[in-house]
Chain A
Amino acid sequence: MRIDAYITEYARITPQNIALEEGKNSISYGCLDEDINILASPLVVFEHCRFAILAESGIQYIKILMAVYRSANIAIPLPIEFPKFSLELILDANNVNNIIATDTQYFRFGESFFERFGTVIIVDNDNSLNILRRKLESETNKPKLRLVIYTSGTTGTPKGVMLSDKNLVANAKSIIEVLGITPKDKAALVISMHHAFGNSIIDSHIMAGGSIRIGSMNFMDSVFNLVESEVSIFYGVPSTYRILLKYPDRFKKAFANVRMAASAGGGMDWKIITDIWGLTPNIDILPMYGQTEATARLAYLPAEDVDEFIDTIGKAIPGVELDVFDSEYRSVEPKITGELVARGDNILLGYLDDEISTKERVIDGWLHTGDLAQKLPNGYIKLLGRKDDLIKIGDHRVNPREIERHIEENNKVSKVFVVPISHELLGTAISLMVIPTKGTEINTLFTFCRKSMPGYLCPREILLIDSLPLSENGKISNRSIIEEYKHVKASM
């Protein structure tokens, strides 16, 4: 079953129930279903074609997404927080002929951005469609492909994760079970809808016939007002909670009637947990773990075990099997470190137009997560860093080597090293150590980073160094960089 079919079903059973709320607007299941039909009607002539979606988070975005589903096409939501040239890189790497954009984004990105597309459809706020041009072209796509979600964070070309209807429905079902989501629940969705976490909130609450209150983390007063509008489940990445906890009095008042604070996207630290419990002792805290490659979720830590097992990711969600493999792909005993692997109906079809990466990540049906892990005797799983050098910055998974290359290629520098450092709100932010060359200017580097990378990647400091000792195997590693950074800071 497709996700949008659940909207049709609830439009039949409970047409008056509110599906989505945003600011002063709200829309019932009945009206949402009708609006999706209107938007889908000009798309049905396309047969399983790729449609980029360029829309800000909001009711309009969900309508467009569901319309692409309903017309049996393939939705490719573009992560709009990325600079324009990053989106152009994504589009260069993948063949996408059609785009649907809100008028806001059309004016923001400008006409020239849309020249590459054969079909351009603009959606107004009042749901009216403006088909600027239309070009029907047949495409060869994986038959089950329904949605492409981009992994967040990278400065190079983000990978497009291909998901099927089965992936989306299976993961939403597991999430509904773990959180006990009912039609009475109202979700607070204040994170980006264009990535896996936000998308899973939409799918699971729609499948449960509940409602979703949409907002953003931009304006604190608005966020707290949103939570106070009878929200029962709040979702955030750890930095979302860190930001909200800066305002403890308001947090206490706003979250008094929230039954569950769920998290994903990064590990919840003990300070966040105790701060939340200190203000709202009765709230259930539910840390979850996942990857875009698994549609969204893979594991969760039951609320009753948060106290004792916060340093683990808990256990697999229903319908998912987790294991830890050695380098020969054999399951290892508890307390032995290996790579965390996962199997289930939520595992990706593959990466868009990238067979090689797909074969590296999905082996014999097991998704290789790249996370190093150990099984505990009680079956819970503890993470022990990454197999590769990827790091979490502001709850986004990023490749530091890619950032380094991006800065080196566009600036007068000899070498750049990304150092993960702790940050009050982001959890982890980055600093740079730079081996200068003639003409290296720290201010120019700062400006470059601010203008050409997402905000969370902007370095907190830039230190000039003479050289970096290589690690034992002659390679640059996060460990050798962090050690050198400590050394440099100590001698300052």
Chain B
Amino acid sequence: MEQIKNCIIDYLKANSFMDKDTKFGDNDSLTQSGIIDSIGLLELVDYISEKYSIEIPEDMLTPENFDSLQGITNMIFKLAK
């Protein structure tokens, strides 16, 4: 789990408005804090699908699964099993 989360943090640091020194809680909203926008989220979905070889159905593209580090990590963990 921790490994997945760190991987997502690395991706966001490289590809979003998240900076090296951004303090960010596991359950904070990525969209409301301005870290990622709608196009950024679609790119993140593509990145995760490829990196973990999983298919993410569109009914899983919800705030619960994609708006926080914890949500994303849990979702990948579930799908990659």
- Check if A455 sits within 8 Å of B40, measured CB to CB: yes
Binds B, one of A172-180, A181-189, A218-226, A351-359: A218-226
B61: which of A81, A216, A220, A455 is its contact (CB, 8 Å)? A220
- Check if A221 sits within 8 Å of B19, measured CB to CB: no
Interface string of B26-59 (1 = CB under 8 A from A): 0000011110111111100000000000000011
- Check if A83 sits within 8 Å of B31, measured CB to CB: no
Within 8 A of B (CB), among A358-392: none
Please give, as numbers and ranges, the residues of chain A lying within 8 Å of B63 by CB-CB distance: 218-219, 222
- Check if B58 sits within 8 Å of A224, measured CB to CB: yes
Taking the nearest CB of chain B, how far is it from the CB of A391, in angstroms? 17
Interface string of A430-457 (1 = CB under 8 A from B): 0000000000000000010011001110
Please give, as numbers and ranges, the residues of chain B lying within 8 Å of A224 by CB-CB distance: 58
- Check if A83 sits within 8 Å of B17, measured CB to CB: yes
- Check if A456 sits within 8 Å of B39, measured CB to CB: yes
Taking the nearest CB of chain B, how far is it from the CB of A428, in angstroms? 13
How far, in whole Å, are A224 and B31 apart by their CA atoms in the complex?
18
Q: A221-B59, A425-B42 are in contact. Are A216 and B31 (CB under 8 A)?
A: yes
- Check if A394 sits within 8 Å of B39, measured CB to CB: yes
How far, in whole Å, are A220 and B66 apart by their CA atoms in the complex?
10
Tell yes or no: B14 within 8 A of A by CB: yes
B58: which of A108, A247, A425, A456 is its contact (CB, 8 Å)? A247
Please give, as numbers and ranges, the residues of chain A lying within 8 Å of B41 by CB-CB distance: 218-219
Q: A425-B39, A455-B37, A456-B39 are in contact. Are A218 and B58 (CB under 8 A)?
A: no
Please give, as numbers and ranges, the residues of chain A lying within 8 Å of B61 by CB-CB distance: 219-222
Taking the nearest CB of chain B, how far is it from the CB of A381, in angstroms? 30
- Check if A218 sits within 8 Å of B31, measured CB to CB: yes
Please give, as numbers and ranges, the residues of chain B lying within 8 Å of A455 by CB-CB distance: 16, 36-37, 39-40
Closest B residue by C-beta to A424: B42
- Check if B34 sits within 8 Å of A217, measured CB to CB: no
- Check if B14 sits within 8 Å of A243, measured CB to CB: no
Closest B residue by C-beta to A104: B32
Q: How many residues of B contact A (CB 8 A)?
A: 24
Tell yes or no: A145 within 8 A of B by CB: no
How far, in whole Å, are A106 and B3 apart by their CA atoms in the complex?
32
Which of B37, B39, B66 is packed against the most chain A CB atoms within 10 Å?
B39
A243: which of B32, B42, B62 is its contact (CB, 8 Å)? B42
Tell yes or no: A193 within 8 A of B by CB: no
How far, in whole Å, are A397 and B62 apart by their CA atoms in the complex?
30
B62: which of A108, A216, A221, A447 is its contact (CB, 8 Å)? A221
Please give, as numbers and ranges, the residues of chain A lying within 8 Å of B62 by CB-CB distance: 219, 221-222
Q: A81-B34, A108-B34, A247-B58 are in contact. Are A451 and B19 (CB under 8 A)?
A: yes
Q: A108-B32, A216-B38 are in contact. Are A450 and B15 (CB under 8 A)?
A: yes
Closest B residue by C-beta to A251: B58
Within 8 A of B (CB), among A189-229: 216-222, 224
- Check if B58 sits within 8 Å of A221, measured CB to CB: yes
Tell yes or no: A322 within 8 A of B by CB: no
- Check if A218 sits within 8 Å of B67, measured CB to CB: yes
- Check if A219 sits within 8 Å of B39, measured CB to CB: no
How far, in whole Å, are A397 and B42 apart by their CA atoms in the complex?
22
B residues adjacent to A (C-beta < 8 A): 14-17, 19, 31-34, 36-42, 58-63, 66-67
A243-B39, A425-B39, A455-B16 known; 12 new pairs, CB 8 Å cut-off, are A108-B34, A216-B31, A218-B37, A219-B61, A219-B67, A221-B59, A221-B60, A222-B62, A247-B58, A451-B17, A455-B40, A456-B39
A residues adjacent to B (C-beta < 8 A): 56, 80-81, 83, 104, 108, 216-222, 224, 239, 243, 247, 250, 394, 425-426, 447, 450-451, 454-456
Can you spell out 24 A-B residue pairs with CB atoms less than 8 angstroms apart? A83-B17, A108-B32, A216-B31, A218-B41, A218-B63, A219-B41, A220-B58, A221-B59, A221-B60, A221-B61, A222-B61, A222-B62, A239-B39, A243-B39, A243-B42, A250-B58, A250-B59, A394-B39, A447-B14, A450-B14, A450-B15, A454-B37, A455-B16, A455-B39
